[in-house]
Amino acid sequence: MRRNRRRRGRRRGRPLFELFPKGVLGILAASLVISLFISRGVLTVSSVRPLEGHVIFIDPGHGGIDPGACGEIYTEKEIVLKVALLLGDRLARSGAQVVYTRTGDYDLETPEVSDVQARINIMKQSKASVAISIHCNDFTDPWERGAQVFYNASKHPDSKRLAQLIQDEFAKHTDTEREISSQLDHFILNHAEMPAVTVELGFLSNPDEEKLLGSDRYQQKLVTCIYNAILAFLSPQ
């Protein structure tokens, strides 16, 4: 009787992933992917910090003994400061250097310099790429509402484009029907040597809009609108 000879199979080596401790292979794979991205120019510093090298001037209106517009619940000085700080933080995380006129509840007046002149001086010394002055509106008619952006047509020629970019963002993400305007006599707009706008976030005289302006969620929405517009404005054409 003929015996069947057992076929001796080839000795297989251990799979590659078993040669490394747990977690190491993942790190190696991630390193390889990152290396490939870098070598192909996909991952760059500029894509992570798109505002690197830019200075942004932010002026939260009023402060200290000057509350600005007053609603039933909030004052202008507190709303604009919160929005300004949120915006500045967002810009800084994108690489921008942010220069504020104030970061707390105070005015800038001294025995030598008025509050208005102090803000103008900070703006001029900043050498900023853009200047943003943030305010809230009010009116005798409590039904008036909506964010609006103002610019000075006789100053920097690009101020109108910056204003329109911000207003377009407001139109897409809030219920404002307002349009940009150059009909505002404001010291920041009148003395700016860079593209500059005054942003009126909404009407504290409107009870419904006042509640919106005081909410964290709506403030973040306004910040995103302004941030996106600044990013688009400063991006290469």
Tell me the CATH number at 206. Answer: 3.40.630.40
Same-domain pairing of 30 and 109: no
Quick check: 201 and 60 in contact, CB under 8 A? no
Instruction: Please report, for residues 61, 100, 126, the alpha-carbon distance to residue 122 in angstroms, rounded to integers and kept in the order given.
Output: 14, 8, 6
Same-domain pairing of 165 and 205: yes
Same-domain pairing of 36 and 66: no
- Its domain, for residue 59, covers 49-234
Match 């509350």 to its residue by tokens: 67
Same-domain pairing of 26 and 59: no
pLDDT value for 2: 40
Beta strand pairing call for 196-203 and 130-137: parallel
Backbone dihedral region for residue 165 (phi beyond 0: left; psi -120 to 50: alpha; all else: beta): alpha
Q: Cα 28 from chain centroid?
A: 36
Tell me which DSSP letter residue 17 carries.
G
Same-domain pairing of 65 and 160: yes
Same-domain pairing of 73 and 135: yes
Low-confidence stretches of the chain (pLDDT < 70) are: 1-47
Match 């305007």 to its residue by tokens: 181
Question: Is 6 within a domain?
Answer: no
pLDDT value for 52: 97
pLDDT value for 45: 42
